[in-house]
Structures are given as structure tokens and as C-alpha cells.
Structure 1
Amino acid sequence: MTDPIDPERNNRRAGTAIGKDCDADPPDASAVDDTLSGAPRRRVPRPRPIPKARAPQTPEAFTSAAYAPEPDKAGIPFAARVQQWFDARQWQPFEFQRDVWRALAEGLSGLLHATTGAGKTWAVWFGAMSAYGDHAPGALADPLTVLWITPMRALAADTARALQSSARELAVPWTIGLRTGDTNSTERARQSRRMPSALVTTPESLSLMLTRSDARDALKHVRLVVVDEWHELLGNKRGTQAQLAIAHLARWRADLQVWGLSATLGNLDFAADVLLAPVRTPRLSVSGMQPKTLLIDTLIPATIERFPWGGHLGTRQVDAVAAGIDEALTSLVFTNTRSQAEIWYQALLALRPDWAGLIALHHGSLAQEVREWVEDGLKNGKLKAVVCTSSLDLGVDFLPVERVFQIGSPKGVARLMQRAGRSGHAPGRASRITIVPTHALELVEAAAARRAVEARRIEGRETPRKPFDVLVQHLVTVAIGGGFDATELFDEVRTTFAYRDLTRHEFDWALAFVERGGPSLGAYPDFHRVVQDEDGVYRVPRDDLIRRHRNNVGTIVANATLHVAWLAGGRIGSMEESFISRLKPGDVFTFGGRALELVRVRDMTAYVRRASSVRGAMPQWAGSKMPLSSELADATLAMLAEAVRGIYSEPEMIAVRPLLELQASWSALPEAGVLVAEMLRSREGHHFFCYPFAGRVAHIGLASLLGWRAARERPGTFSISANDYGFELLSSQPFDWAALIAEGLFSSARLAGDIMDSLNASELAMRRFREIARVAGLVYQAHPGQQKSARQLQASSGLFYEVFRKHDSDNLLLAQADAEVMLQELELDRMKRALDAMNTSRLALTHPKKPTPFAFPLIVARIREKVSTEKLADRIERMLAELDKAAC
């Protein structure tokens, strides 16, 4: 189910064909976007400005003052009203929805895993109104009966609209509220006077509510907590923050019910255990995976090079993508990076200038007003297409969307399914996603992804274990919100899955850290954040400490950003400081579909004007590299294993067959149980290529590790290159790799120690400590009225890091930084699994005379960092000519 829409329009669209069948069967926490803004002159006309009158509803729309139920249904039993509601949409409740309604009535908690667009929201929401509501005319529910947590502000606003409209149509006298970082002070004050019946919020805003001095009174009526898109929170510290908040609510109310919602989880039992650990009510898992047509096809290019190099192929297919957009009512064009979204928006608008004002751009650095305009345009069918990133991954309902394009490999099965579900987002409608490869080897990934979806091989999610920075922040939060008894809070925290193994010694360390700053900060009053009163209750003693903490609650630690604004006034969006700092006044860059000239940077704002040039530098955002998931890597190796046996049954594999046959002829094809490695000599030196298929991050670590191990006995220097399939080690002198492997080069023994020695792990840990220090409250990203730069934050956290290393070596935040570097930045567990697999696999070590199709993209990736774009293109052209000649 989805938001109610006009029945006639729904009927018309439900019958729309979405294309021929094919083989068939998901995160920055922000959702912002600019678009419909000016594009380069001459070739591309300037899209129409955004009319302010068409702006979407603001948070003020979700208040009790705006609520007016339909009075003619007041005498009808609630169950009959619900059936009328379904009948009006020509729908019937699914059995999983009825299961959740019964479970809520019986006081159960649970996890609902259901198909995207099948009606998870209505399952929980209608059950809550039925279980807790007094449906007599004029009877309001207790203040804040339902707390609905979402991972994104855009999703929160969409959910609030859906809850409000359905409550009104069902004549349930409940008020619906919205509280996120976008909610203004007037609305917050209104909610403080009387909370709405149901409040839609985010983990950060919920933690802020816990800092109210009357938090217990304000939240004591909460009977149900709903955590939407639980898979998006499960694997990060925002999920840990939600766990701690739920544990606090569960201590106040023993009968608290908690329900998680998700459509793309591979480890359901684990996900339920993590969410429901603090809950004392009986639990139930409900599956609502309804039969749904999921069409996954690939836009296969007319010509495929036998020597691919990453990224260049994408926009060559802009004509085909535009033709596909033309066939559908509304389309989403997903990219994996913000810079790629900018490129594709420009390319589509250049090809189809008549689409000015009908296509839009949506990613996480653009202004809130414009992103809301885009979302509203999608809902109402006013936009033909939107080029977007993960900012539109989650469950916002865009009913007019009929087709999704995925530019490049999705890199994960869950992400592919999540994005596919943005189309056909209603029961009975098919979802279609078309993968647009950006290089030839992504054709193999596309076929593998479809196979994995068919087999339901979805990635599982892990969760952080004992993050001490989140615990430290939570202690201060609870101390502000009424105070705490240490023993009671210790017992409460241990009910969460994240801290179930927390020792009393570790808890006491965290308590001492917020009380006195630990052994090294005791002389500084600003780090005496809590004190124990005569009753044994810990509270925050100073108003300035309270204000500072409230301004920095949360676990989202983004790279420092600058506002981008017109010199004449008006904000465009925001951009990472690291990119802006490389520009000087007069430089041109592309942003939001415009070519902009930098005028000056002042007070964390980059002032710009429209550039006369049509070309500019493309911004690069950190964290844009999505590693290949283990599940998709395994599926890709399975496709290659079929190729080894001469089986080419998928259209993508047929198209890429000449490349794979050349790889097999010159070297070998990797498959499960067979590790392919290549040794090659060129004018550059001696190359060692290896293809474990463990993902780019793990390969960087493996390359550094193996290079360090190889050079222990015989000094040598290596240049390193890595991608999702393998890595390259280039040296000026030869190494006997076969002998090194036989002597234990791939051993996983002493892995952690060797990694620390082979990489600049202390530098990595110090950078990671910056984020930990921000969450733990040592440094503050924002004070009222000012913003710290990334350089200031790094300097401040670096000072703490050095002080702790020298004078407080047992500081648990230091240990956490080391652990996070190993597990998250270097993927230690995946590296170990890869080494174990490499050790037990049959080694196919070959000596090709020329770079193979698998080796060529690694060479290009290495030289790309050393030469300009123009020189790179010329050099690649010469290399390709030589390789093509050798392949003939």
C-alpha cells in the first residue's frame, strides 16, 4: 500500500505497460536536492525557476490545528471504516497486515519484513489506531501514544502526511506531529505544550527529546515505537542511538511495544534480536513478502571493448536512457555518486533541451527547499525524470514512477532491490529497473545481480558493538533529561544488543570520563559534564554545557561543509570544504546543473555567480566509493564459472563473451576455488595482478599487506592499484611471487599486527578519532551561531588524540578508534576471509605478454591519479591501439 491518490488516475496508471519482460526475481542520512536550475548557456536552456507557491507542505501542516476528521464516519465501527478505505482503492488487506493488527491488539512487539510497496505502513499504523484509539467523536488519544522513527527527514515528512491523511479519512481523532532538524521553534513550542497523538521523528530528534527536563512526563504515554527502514539504521551508530533511546522508554513503560519495518534484510532473526533486545513484551516476526513482478534488465551497449576502463562508458548510453525515459510516465535515474548525478543531469538536459523544467536533480548537498519541490513534483507526476543518488533510496512513495535506471553496478543486491522498488510502488504493480553499465565488466555484475535477486541472496547487516562514543553521549543526554542513578542506567544500557557485553568497569570508565574528563582532562571544568548530587543522581551542572550538548546531539559526522550561495543572495546548497578549499576566486565548477564561478569564501559560505564558461570542475564528495558486497561478488564469480565451462546463457554474458574469452586465452578466468594471478613485465616495471573479488576496500588493504610482507626479506617499493575485482603491485625489480605464496604470503596469521605495520594505521586512527571525539562531545562541530571548519576539528581532535596516547593510554575511545579502522576502514574481517579463501584455492599463476582485460582497468586506475584528463585519454588511446593489435 501507499499514500492515497486519485482513484481514477491510479486505475489509468495501473494498466500502463512497463515494457517487455526479462528475467526477474537495498546509507548519508540526509535527503536534499536542488534542481531545475540553470544549465550551461547555448547548448542547454535554463530551466524554469521554482515557483514558491508550489512548495510542499511544511512541518506546520502536521499539527493538531490542521487536523479535521471526517465526521460522517464517526458512528461506523473502526474495522468497517478500514475496509471502506481499502475498498475505495480497490485493494484488499493482505494476511500479513491482519497478522500485525492482531499482534498489536495482543500487546506483541515484532519485525515486519515485507515487499516494497506492499503496505507495511498501514499494517502497523491501522493496528495502532485500532489497538489504542478511542474512536468516539472528539476523543483524542493520549499525548504521544505512537513514536515513529525514520532514518531520513524526507521520509519523515512523507510518512507524517500518510499517517495524517489516513487518520482523517478513517475519522480517527488523532493528531499527527513531525519533529526533525527541519522543524521550527514555533512548532516545537506547540508540541511542548501538548504532544500530538503520534509523532514522526529521527533518532537524533528523539535523543534531543530525552534531554528535556520533563522527558519522563513527556514520553510516559508512548505505547508503540515504530522503527521504519530498520535495515538502514541497523548497521551504524544511529541504530545504536535508537537502541539506547528505546531501552530508556522501555524502563519507563514495561508494556512498551516496538515494531521494525524493512523490505531488504538478509539476516532477519539477527535484525529482530538487535531491535527488540530491550523490549519486555512478547515478540513476533511477520513476513509479508508478496509475489511481485520485479523486472531487471540491462542496457547493453552496441559495441563492447575488450579492454575496459572504469567509468567512460556511462554517458555514451545517454541516448538510450533518454529513449527509455520517454517511454515511461516518470523515471528515476539512480547514480552511485553525487558527481555522477551532476554529469548525467547535464548530459540528459544537453540531449533533450525541451526537458528543461521537466527533469530534476536530487542529491545530498542541495538546498532543502528545492529537494522538497522535487519530491512534490515526483508525487504529483509533474516531473518526467529525476537524476538522484541514495537520497531517494528509502521508502518515500512516488506513485507516478514507472521505471528506474541504475547507472553503473548497484554493488549490492539489497541496494538493487531497494531502488527497483521505487517504481511500481503499490500492490499489483510491477517494478522495473534497468542497469546501465559504465564499463564492460559491469555487464557480468548486472547478470549476477539479477541471479542473486532471483535466489533472494540478500546481504545481511552487522551492527556496532559497544561504541563508547555513543555511550558517553547518551550518559550526558540522560543526565540532562532528569538525571540518572548509575546502577540503574548500567542495567538499562545492558538490555540493548549493542551493549549486552558491557562490563561494569567499562561503564564506570565512561561515567568517570563525563564526570571528570578521565585522567588527563581533570583540570578543565568544561569536561566535568555531570556531577552527582546528594541523592546520588547524576545531572549536568551548567546551562552552557546543556546548550552545547543539545547543539551537537547525534552520531552523523559528515565532512565539514560550506554553504554555496549566490553573491546577490539566495542559497543553492552545500559542498564539502575539501573541494572548495582547492579552488581560487575565478575558478569555475559545476553544481546543481549550473556552471558557477567562485567569487569568495567567507564565514563558511562560498559565494558564487553564474559563469560564462559552460565547463567547470566536477565536485568530488568523500565516501562515494561503494564496495562490491560479498553476496554480489560471489554471484559474479558464479557467472564467471559458467563462462569457464562455455555457458553464456544471459544476454549480458553473451555480449561480454569476447572479452571473457580473451581473458581466458591470455590468462585465466577467476571462479570460486580458483585464484587467478598474473605476472607481467613492461616498460613501467614488474607487475603482479591478483583477483580475489573481495571488494575495493579489502583489496587496498591486501595489496599493502602483501607488498609489505614481500619486502620484509628483500627491500622494495611498490605502486598499488585496486578495484572491486583485484589489485596490482608494481615494482622496479622482480619478485618471485610463486615462491612467496608457497612460503605463506597469503597467511592470515598475525593479520592485525601486520596491517598495523604495513599501513599508516596511526594516521588512519587519528582521522577516525575525529569522528569519535565529535560524537563523544570532546570537540563540537557547531556552536550556536558558528561552525568549525574541518581543519579546526582535526586540529582539536588531533590534540586530544596525542594527549590520550601519551597520558591516558587506557582510554577506551582510543581503542575504539583502532578497532573501527580495522573493521570499517580496512574491513579486517573481509580481508581475513579473503586470505583464507586465497590460501585454500587453486592458484592459477599466469605470465601474459600484455595486460589482460582484467588487468587493464587496474593500470588505468593507477596512472589516472598521475596525469591530467587530456593526457590520460591520449595515453589510454595509445595503449588500447597496441592491445587491440595484439588481440587480433
Structure 2
Amino acid sequence: MKQSELISIAEDWFHSKDWKPFPFQQKTWKAFLKGKHGLLNAPTGSGKTYALWVPIVLQYLKENPNYKTKHTKGIKAIWITPLRALSVEIQQSAQRFADDLGTGLTVGIRTGDTSQSERAKQKRQMPDLLITTPESLMLLLTSKGYDKTFKTLTAVVVDEWHELLGSKRGVQMELALSRLKTVSPKLRIWGISATIGNLEQAQDVLLGMDERFRENAVLLKANLKKEIIVKSIIPKKMETFPWRGHIGLHVLDQIIPILNASKTTLIFTNTRSQCEIWFQKILEKYPEFAGEIAMHHGSINKETRLWVEQAIRNESLKAVVATSSLDLGVDFAPVETIIQIGGPKGIAKFLQRAGRSNHRPGEPSVIYFLPTHAMELIEASALKKAVKAEVMEDRIPYLLSFDVLIQYLVSLAVSDGFFPKEIYPEVKNTFCFQGITEDQWQWCLNFITMGSQSLQAYDEYKKVIIDEEGRFKVESKQVAMMHRLSIGTIVSDAMVQVKYVTGGFIGTIEEFFIGKMKPGDVFVFAGRTLELVRVRNMQAQVRRSSKRTRNVVSFMGGRMALSSQMSEILRNELQSEAEHKRNTPELKALSDIFNRQELESIVPGNNEFLIETFKTREGYHNVFYPFEGRFVHMAMSGLLAYRISLLLPITFSLAYNDYGFELLSDQPLDIQQVLDNNLLTTDYLFDDLQKSLNSTELARRKFRDIAVISGMVFTGYPNKQIKTKHLQSNSQLLFDVFRDYEPDNLLYLQAFRETFEHEMEEGRLRMALERIATQEIVWKQCEKATPFSFPIITDRLREKLSSEKLADRIKRMTLQLMK
């Protein structure tokens, strides 16, 4: 069959559904059928599944003209999705097309949720299209004879590639593809990505450094201009001294008309605890929503999550309060409206969430922004401009992640074994390991066969043996089983299962939260008020409680930082305020705050760097405003405090948020001396950072993840997980051994490198300091706290006070400041 005939089959099918294929879909079909690899840049809800599944089926028809009578066995394509929640959606779409054309092609799912019986069935015969996650694909590479399984493979499609890029799951994917390129001679590699700033680089990372793939690749963009309407929910009463902490509930009444006016609304929160609180409060105040509102986040059990997703599809829910668990690709056409609670901290995340509404091509997406404190209205105003100007963040890929490489090599050794001389060129052809040296490669091989230099006396680190032919193999069944259980790169705090005493699984929560509680304590989780009865074997047994409590489950991932692009548009927004161009409803609403700020200090323009000092009964406050996001401020505050301590015998308490940071001391600090000594310089930045932030402590925490991923520390068997504190102490022991006896250990060095590159964002800190060096420094000696400094001060108080006491304290502070 000619290409034109194949394409007309697909077009006829589209017409039979009263659809019209988009030009980008047709371009992708043609490129795929010509044997190209590529990256498709398409927004959510634009029909990207059919852009790539259609040509995979057409290719099958071309190679098997008698497909109606004879079905060719073997896997044809793998569809990688980063989220299990997306797999059902993709399966339904793919199966519909395959069935309507009478191809006989089967579509199967293999994720952590797949039952044992289904896995056994797949082992006997693989489906034609397998939808899976990076972790499950890696598990397949540990099975014997995987090369025969994947020999018939013609395509791998990596969906939501922007989500995997810039994470170790992305590195895992790069390594899996490097192997499939060799064992699947007909392989075409395609990625699908939403818009990111570095699309070309994203394609390079996906295809690797292999010229065969790069020269024959295309980058296709779906030029679908989707209109996004951003509306801010402006509180009727605006506080003059904003503080972060009441999570926006004072605006709750203003969202009810929005919920009533839409068929279905998704309410996105940034954290799971915020999600729990909002769900509770809506039902408390508006009990008529009972049965019409649900909650969705990653810690709620699978059955409930699937029920909620299905209920959204068949329009039986009025609203769902969710976290990023519903961020990606789940195609909910009935959702009309999105409400974002609190600053999303990044433009891409905001657009992704906006795209969930009116999930139909051509329809505008409506997203409401609800500020949790007044300053976030500046973010809202800035976001509107970013959406208009199509500003996008980059995703920075990882380099030389030796922990992921070691895990991968053991996976290959568990299956059929490997010869290093065959695998080394494949690994070197990935983007992540393009810079690996022969010595580093040899170190990794020694590590899996002998343990590292200082661990050679311990047999448990000698996982891989070398047979007479020079093949690297795992022979121990126990090592193989423990390795399969540990595959993955997502290392979170140990999770505790929450179950009723009478049985019945509710969900999972992090160990650190339960660790702070004793039997009899009451907490809110998954929309229920529960009393802790006992904790046994990583299970929290609970019963329902009628007591009232403010103790809502909290999760460690609660504090996201502003992206660098978001910081920049925020500074530009303040510039228009500094020039008194209050030209957006958000900036107009903040008039009282800005007027008050200018009474005591200034609103800094783009070319100004503001420093405020004032005294309260707590001590001497020194507040700096780089507007660079909390991670950069954490590093900068530590750096500055350390440099000042070299000049003067003075100690500080540090506090920081997304807008600035505070050094609080019991004695006055001469800011002029700080400026004269050029303490905000980039000179000796790396050395001073290491000394200032106790980088060893941060690297220790990072090393725990590296130790788990590389298999040095075993996390435990299902239902018998090792406690986090034991994991921590095991990995700390190894960390100390390497520090004292093997300081050139690659995994030990990686912990420091990742701490600086990813935790402290050293590159971004350097750029911020370079920018400050060009700005005019404005030092304002204020009489009292300013509206800009208020959220930073109250953030520090939160660590010490319960939420009721904090609210009282803030009321008193506000009254004093308003005098």
C-alpha cells in the first residue's frame, strides 16, 4: 500500500467520527511512515494520541497486507506515560481505532497497578501496544530473553516528555532507549511534549547522541492557538499586611457562584494538605455539596482515584479538589472551569492546569486564580502577561547520574547478563552520559562486582559476577528479587498505609507525619476525621472520629519555589508598579498595600535592589528583596550570613520566602559595611556556599536517595518497608565511610554536585548576584515592618506557633503596625 492510500484510511476513519484531522496530525503520520524519529510539541487535549497511534497502525497494515486473516504476533509499540492515571485513557483511544479498522491489534497496560494474572498473560503473549511507565519498562528489561520480546518492536512513544526531562526518570528512559535501539532494529523513537523553553534540547536528550537517529529526526509543532482566559478572584476585603498561612479560605464564598455556574470544576491546590483542608471547609460551610464534590491526590487509594476520574468523565461530580495528581493529560471533556489556589510558581504548570478546562480543540480554557495572600495577586498579574507573551520555562536535563547507571547495569545483569564492550558505546551515546570517561565506566563496573574500594570486605555489595566468557551476570536469586523490588528513581519519604482497625485501606501518608503522633490523636485525611489507634509494621490503624481537629495531614513536598522565568516577570510587574502604572485589576486591588509600602519604604523598580532594616521587640530585622524564589533565597541568606560572620561576631536567624529573605539579629547590623565589603559578590561563591550552608548536611540527605537508587541501601519488601530513620542511618554510615576513606567515590561526589545544581540552584544564584551587582542598592531604614516584609516575618513565626496562636499574634502585630 502506498503512503497516500494509508493516510486516506485514517482520514476516512476521522470523517466517520465527524472529526477532521489537524495538519500537525497529518504531518506526524507522514513523518512516521517515512521512517523518521521526532518530537511532537502539542498542547493537552489536541488529539496527540491519534497523531502517533494512527501511523503505528498504518505501518502494521503496510507490512501485513493480509492483516484481516493473519495476525502477526509480537509487540509492535510501547507507549510510555509518566502517570498511571493516564493509561486507561490512552488504552481506550488506541483500542477504538484498532478495532474500527478490524486490525485485530490488542492494547494492554502494564504499571504498578497491573494484576499478577494480567502480567502472567502478557508473559505468555505480549499485547501489540503496551502502555507502561519508565519503571515498568525497566522491569521488563530484567526479564530473561527480553531481546527476543522486543525484536518485533517498531516504535516507542514517550508521552509527556517534558515531565520526565530534568528528572532521574528521564535518565532511566534514556538508558532504556539506548538498549532498545540495539535490540529492535526497526525502532522509531517519538516523544510528545507540551511547550517548554528548550524544545530542541529536549529532542536531543530523547534521541541521544547517536547520529543515525539525530540526522533522521523532525521537530513538529502543533500550531493550535488555544485561548487561555485568566481571571483573578480578588478578595472583597484586602488586608494591608499580607501573610501566608490562611490558604485563601477567606475567599471561599467567592468560588461558590463559579462552581454553581459550571458543569464540573477542578480546584487545584499546590499541596495535599491544602487539598484536604479545602475539601473539608467547602463541605462544612456548604453541606449541600455532599456527594457532588470529591478529592483526588496521590496518597488516596487507587480505587477511589479511579472512581473520581470516572465520575468526572460522566459528569456526576460538581467539583473535584485535586493536587498535581490530575495535572497531566487525563482527558476530561466535561470540565468547564479550573480554579488555581495559590501561586503555581511556574508558568508551564499553570498552563498545563488551564488546559484541563474545555478539553476540546478550539474552545477557550478558563482558569481562575485565587490568591492565598495579597502579594500573590502580583503573581496573578504577572501570569496573565506571561500567558499572553507565551513565556516558557526550560527543563534542565541531568548529567552523569551514576546512581541510575549502576541500577541499570544491575538490571541488565539480572536478565541475560551483558558484555561491557557492547553496553559502553550505547551508554556513551545517551545525552546524560555523553561525557562519561573510561575510568568512570570502569569504576561503575567495579562497583557492581566488588563493591566500591572501601566496601570490598562486604559480600552484599558484590552483586554481579563475571563468567568465563566475560559476561556480567547476577546469579543469586535473592539479589535478583531485591533488585527488582528496588527498581525506580522516585525516592520519597517512607510511606505508611492508613487502614481502618476493622480492615479497609484508606491511603498512604508519609512516615514523618505519623511519627509525630501518639495513639488517641485525631487527624483529617482523605476527607475523613480519623483517630490513630496504633502503628504496626508501617501501617497506621485508625477508626472514625467525631472530634473536631485542625490537624490535617501534611506532606513534605509542600514548598515549591518560583521558577526563574516566573521571577523575572514578577520583577517586571513590580517595575510597572514602581512607575505607578497600576494597569491591571490585580495591581489596582493592591493599592492600599503599595501605598503603605511607599509610606515606610519603596516598591523597587527593575534597576533597584531593596534592603529594609527596622527594629521590633524580636530584634534587628535586615530584609533583602532579590525576588528570585525561595531556594535561591535560602542559599543567598546563608551565604550572606556566613560572609558577615567573617567580618563581625554576630549571629542571625534566617527566614525566606519567594520574594526575599531576612537576617534577624539581637544587635544592629551596619548595612553600609556589608555593601562596602562587597559581600554580595560572586567571587569564591562555590567555596563560601559549601561553608555557609552546611552543604555536607544537605549532601547527606541527597546521598540517601543516591544510595537507594544505586542499590546500596535496600528499602524493604512489600508491606515490610524499612523505616526512613533506618534508611537514613544506613546511608549516613556509608556517607561517612566514603568521606573518611574514599573521598573520590563517584556516588559521594554526585551527592554534592546534585545539591549545588538542583537543590541550591547555584547557577541561578550566581546570575542573581550578577544582576544585583548592576542594580542601584536602596537601603531604607524603616520605623516598623513593611507590607513586603510582613509575609517573611510571619513565615518564621509559623515554625514556632500553632495556627490559632499565629493568627492571634498576627492580628496584634497588624493592629500595632496600622497605628
TM-score by length of 2: 0.97
Cα 1:849–1:89 change in 2 (3 A) is farther
Match of 1:94 among 10, 22, 30: 22
1:592-607 mapped onto 2 (5 Å cutoff): 592-607=526-541
- Whether 2:635 is the aligned partner of 1:701: answer yes
Q: 1:84 deviation in Å? A: 3.8
- Whether 2:755 is the aligned partner of 1:824: answer no
1:628-777 mapped onto 2 (5 Å cutoff): 628-777=562-711
Match of 1:171 among 79, 102, 123: 102
Is the 1:494–1:501 contact (alpha carbons within 8 Å) kept by the matching residues of 2?
Answer: yes
Is the 1:226–1:258 contact (alpha carbons within 8 Å) kept by the matching residues of 2?
Answer: yes
Q: Distance in 2 between matches of 1:296 and 1:870?
A: 33
Q: Distance in 2 between matches of 1:847 and 1:579?
A: 41
Is the 1:565–1:573 contact (alpha carbons within 8 Å) kept by the matching residues of 2?
Answer: yes
Q: 1:79 deviation in Å? A: 4.0
Q: Distance in 1 between matches of 2:572 and 2:102?
A: 54
Cα 1:141–1:843 change in 2 (3 A) is farther
The corresponding residue for 2:364 is 430
| Matching residue's letter, 1:576 | E
Is the 1:309–1:860 contact (alpha carbons within 8 Å) kept by the matching residues of 2?
Answer: yes
Match of 2:31 among 103, 117, 127: 103
Is the 2:228–2:387 contact (alpha carbons within 8 Å) kept by the matching residues of 1?
Answer: no
Gaps of 5+ in 1: 1-75
Q: Distance in 1 between matches of 2:273 and 2:420?
A: 48
Match of 2:115 among 163, 184, 188: 184
Select between 162-171 and 701-710 the one with higher mean Cα deviation: 162-171
1:512-591 mapped onto 2 (5 Å cutoff): 512-591=446-525
**Paired residue secondary structure (1:623):** helix
Is the 2:247–2:274 contact (alpha carbons within 8 Å) kept by the matching residues of 1?
Answer: no
Q: 1:88 deviation in Å? A: 4.2
| Cα deviation digits, residues 785-831 of structure 1 (max 9, x gap) | 52111011111111111222222221100000111111222221121
| Cα deviation digits, residues 854-878 of structure 1 (max 9, x gap) | 0011111112212222222221111
- Whether 2:158 is the aligned partner of 1:227: answer yes
| Matching residue's letter, 2:55 | G
**Paired residue secondary structure (2:203):** helix
The corresponding residue for 1:260 is 191
Cα 1:352–1:171 change in 2 (3 A) is farther
Q: Alpha carbon RMSD of aligned pairs, Å?
A: 1.5
Q: Distance in 1 between matches of 2:734 and 2:589?
A: 56
- Whether 2:271 is the aligned partner of 1:337: answer yes
The corresponding residue for 2:55 is 127
Match of 1:477 among 411, 419, 422: 411
The corresponding residue for 1:488 is 422
1:342-357 mapped onto 2 (5 Å cutoff): 342-357=276-291
**Paired residue secondary structure (1:799):** helix
What is the number of equivalent residue pairs in this alignment? 810
Q: Distance in 1 between matches of 2:200 and 2:176?
A: 21
Q: 1:750 deviation in Å? A: 1.2
Q: Distance in 2 between matches of 1:373 and 1:644?
A: 50
| Cα deviation digits, residues 264-319 of structure 1 (max 9, x gap) | 31111111111111553310000003022211111111111111001326111111
Q: 1:172 deviation in Å? A: 2.5
| Matching residue's letter, 2:114 | T
Is the 1:277–1:497 contact (alpha carbons within 8 Å) kept by the matching residues of 2?
Answer: yes
| Cα deviation digits, residues 159-186 of structure 1 (max 9, x gap) | 1222122222232221111111111111
| Matching residue's letter, 1:175 | T
Match of 2:219 among 285, 289, 314: 285
Match of 1:148 among 76, 79, 98: 79
Select between 602-611 and 748-757 the one with higher mean Cα deviation: 748-757
Is the 2:265–2:339 contact (alpha carbons within 8 Å) kept by the matching residues of 1?
Answer: yes
Select between 747-756 and 146-155 the one with higher mean Cα deviation: 747-756
| Cα deviation digits, residues 349-376 of structure 1 (max 9, x gap) | 1222122111100111111111011111
The corresponding residue for 2:134 is 203
Cα 1:81–1:352 change in 2 (3 A) is farther
Select between 406-415 and 524-533 the one with higher mean Cα deviation: 524-533
Select between 79-88 and 232-241 the one with higher mean Cα deviation: 79-88
Q: Distance in 1 between matches of 2:5 and 2:486?
A: 47
**Paired residue secondary structure (2:328):** coil
Q: Distance in 2 between matches of 1:644 and 1:740?
A: 26
Q: 1:457 deviation in Å? A: 0.6
Match of 1:457 among 375, 385, 391: 391
Q: Distance in 1 between matches of 2:550 and 2:227?
A: 42
| Cα deviation digits, residues 395-420 of structure 1 (max 9, x gap) | 01111100000001111100010000
| Matching residue's letter, 1:157 | V
| Cα deviation digits, residues 549-594 of structure 1 (max 9, x gap) | 0111110101101100001110000111100011100000000111
| Matching residue's letter, 1:547 | M
**Paired residue secondary structure (2:237):** coil
Is the 1:335–1:387 contact (alpha carbons within 8 Å) kept by the matching residues of 2?
Answer: yes
Cα 1:476–1:378 change in 2 (3 A) is same
Q: 1:209 deviation in Å? A: 0.5
The corresponding residue for 1:37 is none
Q: 1:142 deviation in Å? A: 4.2
Select between 875-884 and 463-472 the one with higher mean Cα deviation: 875-884
The corresponding residue for 1:847 is 781
Q: Distance in 1 between matches of 2:582 and 2:694?
A: 44
Is the 1:141–1:174 contact (alpha carbons within 8 Å) kept by the matching residues of 2?
Answer: no
Is the 1:264–1:417 contact (alpha carbons within 8 Å) kept by the matching residues of 2?
Answer: no
Is the 1:721–1:859 contact (alpha carbons within 8 Å) kept by the matching residues of 2?
Answer: yes
Cα 1:602–1:77 change in 2 (3 A) is same
Q: 1:477 deviation in Å? A: 0.7
- Whether 2:432 is the aligned partner of 1:498: answer yes
Select between 648-657 and 554-563 the one with higher mean Cα deviation: 648-657
Is the 1:673–1:837 contact (alpha carbons within 8 Å) kept by the matching residues of 2?
Answer: no
Is the 1:140–1:197 contact (alpha carbons within 8 Å) kept by the matching residues of 2?
Answer: no
| Matching residue's letter, 2:630 | R
Q: Distance in 1 between matches of 2:755 and 2:619?
A: 32
Is the 2:391–2:565 contact (alpha carbons within 8 Å) kept by the matching residues of 1?
Answer: yes
What percent of counterpart residues are identical?
43
- Whether 2:201 is the aligned partner of 1:273: answer no
| Cα deviation digits, residues 174-215 of structure 1 (max 9, x gap) | 111111111111111111111111100000000000001101
**Paired residue secondary structure (1:882):** helix
**Paired residue secondary structure (1:289):** coil
Gaps of 5+ in 2: none
Q: Distance in 2 between matches of 1:450 and 1:499?
A: 39
The corresponding residue for 1:250 is 181
- Whether 2:736 is the aligned partner of 1:802: answer yes
Q: Distance in 1 between matches of 2:620 and 2:147?
A: 67
| Matching residue's letter, 1:617 | N
| Matching residue's letter, 1:721 | A
Select between 432-441 and 756-765 the one with higher mean Cα deviation: 756-765
Q: Distance in 2 between matches of 1:762 and 1:740?
A: 27
Q: 1:77 deviation in Å? A: 6.7
Is the 1:590–1:618 contact (alpha carbons within 8 Å) kept by the matching residues of 2?
Answer: yes
- Whether 2:804 is the aligned partner of 1:870: answer yes
Is the 2:488–2:709 contact (alpha carbons within 8 Å) kept by the matching residues of 1?
Answer: yes
| Cα deviation digits, residues 730-785 of structure 1 (max 9, x gap) | 11111211221221110111112111111222121111111100000011112255
**Paired residue secondary structure (1:562):** strand
Cα 1:471–1:707 change in 2 (3 A) is same
Q: Distance in 1 between matches of 2:362 and 2:679?
A: 54
Q: Using CA pairs below 8 Å that are at least 6 residues apart, which structure has the higher relative contact order?
A: 1
Is the 1:595–1:611 contact (alpha carbons within 8 Å) kept by the matching residues of 2?
Answer: yes
